[in-house]
């Protein structure tokens, strides 16, 4: 798709070209769209205080307009300009985890337009730690509303190429800062009432509970939302991160999981793939000859696995695979965030064996 002439510029985070950032900041100030790297995933940015600018984000992504945006800031003074009631709990989390991959939900001030918050009275705010993101926000002089820079429904972008694939011709500028550091979106915590994780991420429940007393988990993190059981983060109700392939997650003891997958894959005459880990790959050796067997890597390195989730989801489609069987991970620590993204990508097809 094309329409706009998108300027694509490579920027090295270790040696930032300030003229590029100034140009990008001018685009933001003038109500345009700039895609930029953050430490989690790429974001698609616009001035969060400009109603028309944030509307353009929804058009470029094909995003439903009831799905609110995260405002990105680069100083705590900006926080006070856009939200009310920053509680002591919120202050403790900010002290410990900002700048970084944590988004907090506050009550918004009236200057934040409805098109940024999808009509909600609350606003999601994040202070990213990526240098390019920080420079861009500072130079723009406004909070930058930025969802992940993918077409709505596709996996979040972790590389410049992903953003170009989805948004070339639809935005004014794409800053290609290479591969992002973390690869999963930020942890979202609602701090307007009892602190509750709405979307798990690198900052885990365990890490949060070392700083504040108790953090709840929204029920829809792993369970399928229903009409009377809606997720508090509106975006979590959409089929997300979805590859075109049918993704099936299989949970249980590793050898039983492998036996089940091998049998199912053998029954199918479609192009199948199996996603396992180094520790379990022997279970498949010589037994799954019609499937592609791939490993996430070391089961004990969840950071590495988390980093690869969106990459795999995009690669599956590039390889033209019809059905992917994926071993489940333990739903604790970072495993919860990985399972949250995989479960949604699978349209909640999780099979216990
Ligand atoms: O790491 C990240 O958070 C990335 C980078 C670019 O910062 N951004 C990101 O944005 O993942 P997005 O739009 O893809 O996801 C934001 C999520 C959505 O599920 C949305 O519904 C939820 O945050 N959200 C935003 N504002 C909210 C609010 N006021 N209340 C509840 N949920 C909210
Ligand atoms: Mg997203």
36 vs 43: CA distance, rounded Å:
5
Query: Is residue 266 helix, strand or coil?
Result: helix
* Contact call for residues 249 and 298 (beta carbons, < 8 A): no
Measure 27 CA to ligand 1 centroid, in angstroms.
22
Task: Determine the atom of ligand 1 nearest the C-alpha atom of 123.
Answer: 29
Best substitution site from 98, 148, 184, 189 to test ligand 1's pocket, by max atoms within 8 Å of Cβ?
Answer: 148
Measure 261 CA to ligand 2 centroid, in angstroms.
30
Q: For the chain, which ranges sit under pLDDT 50?
A: 1
Question: Shortest CA distance to 32 belongs to which of 174, 165, 189, 152?
Answer: 174
Question: How do residues 247-301 score in pLDDT, each as one tens digit?
Answer: 999 999 999 999 999 999 999 999 999 999 999 999 999 999 889 999 999 999 9
- Determine if the pTM surpasses 0.85: yes
Measure 124 CA to ligand 1 centroid, in angstroms.
7
Strand partners, 46: 145
Residues in contact with ligand 1 by the CB-under-6-Å rule are 38, 40-41, 43, 67-70, 103, 105, 117, 120, 122-124, 126, 146-148, 185-186, 188, 198, 232-236
pLDDT of amino acid 162: 95
Q: Which residue has the tokens 């709990």?
A: 89
Q: Token digits for 20?
A: 């590029």
- Which one of the ligands is nearest to 57 CA? 1
61 vs 64: CA distance, rounded Å:
9
Measure 223 CA to ligand 2 centroid, in angstroms.
18
- Protein residue with its CA nearest to atom 20 in ligand 1: 235
pLDDT of amino acid 203: 97
Question: How do residues 140-165 score in pLDDT, each as one tens digit?
Answer: 999 999 999 999 988 899 999 999 99
- Strands of the sheet containing 350-352, edge to edge, are 292-295, 272-276, 323-327, 246-251, 350-352
């Amino acid at each position: 798709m094309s329409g706009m002439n998108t300027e694509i510029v490579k920027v090295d985070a270790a040696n930032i070209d300030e003229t590029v950032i100034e140009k990008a900041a001018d685009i933001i100030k003038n109500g345009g769209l700039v895609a930029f790297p953050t430490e989690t995933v790429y974001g698609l940015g616009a001035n969060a205080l400009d109603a028309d600018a944030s509307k353009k984000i929804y058009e470029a992504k094909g995003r439903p307009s009831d799905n609110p945006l995260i405002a990105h800031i680069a100083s705590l003074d900006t926080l006070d300009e856009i939200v009310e009631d920053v509680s002591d709990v919120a202050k403790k989390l900010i002290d410990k985890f900002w700048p970084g991959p944590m988004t907090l939900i506050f009550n918004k001030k009236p200057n934040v337009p409805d098109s940024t918050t999808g009509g909600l009275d609350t606003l999601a705010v994040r202070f990213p730690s990526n240098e390019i993101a920080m420079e861009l926000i500072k130079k723009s002089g406004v909070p930058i509303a930025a969802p992940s820079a993918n077409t709505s429904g596709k996996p979040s972008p972790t590389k410049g190429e992903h953003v170009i694939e989805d948004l070339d011709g639809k935005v004014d500028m794409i800053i290609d800062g290479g591969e992002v550091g973390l690869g999963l979106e930020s942890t979202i915590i609602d701090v307007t009432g009892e602190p509750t994780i709405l979307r798990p991420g690198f900052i885990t429940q365990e890490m949060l509970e070392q700083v504040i007393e108790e953090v709840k988990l929204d029920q829809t993190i792993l369970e399928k939302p229903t009409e009377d059981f809606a997720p508090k983060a509106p975006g979590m109700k959409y089929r997300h991160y979805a590859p075109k392939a049918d993704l099936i997650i299989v949970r249980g003891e590793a050898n039983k999981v492998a036996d089940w997958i091998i049998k199912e894959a053998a029954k199918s005459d479609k192009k199948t793939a199996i996603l396992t880990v180094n520790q379990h790959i022997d279970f498949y050796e010589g037994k799954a000859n019609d499937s592609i067997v791939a490993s996430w890597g070391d089961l004990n390195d969840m950071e590495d696995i988390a980093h690869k989730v969106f990459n795999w989801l995009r690669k599956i489609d590039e390889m033209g695979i019809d059905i992917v069987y994926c071993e489940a991970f333990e739903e604790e620590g970072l495993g919860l965030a990985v399972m949250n993204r995989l479960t949604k990508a699978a349209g909640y097809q999780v099979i216990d064996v």
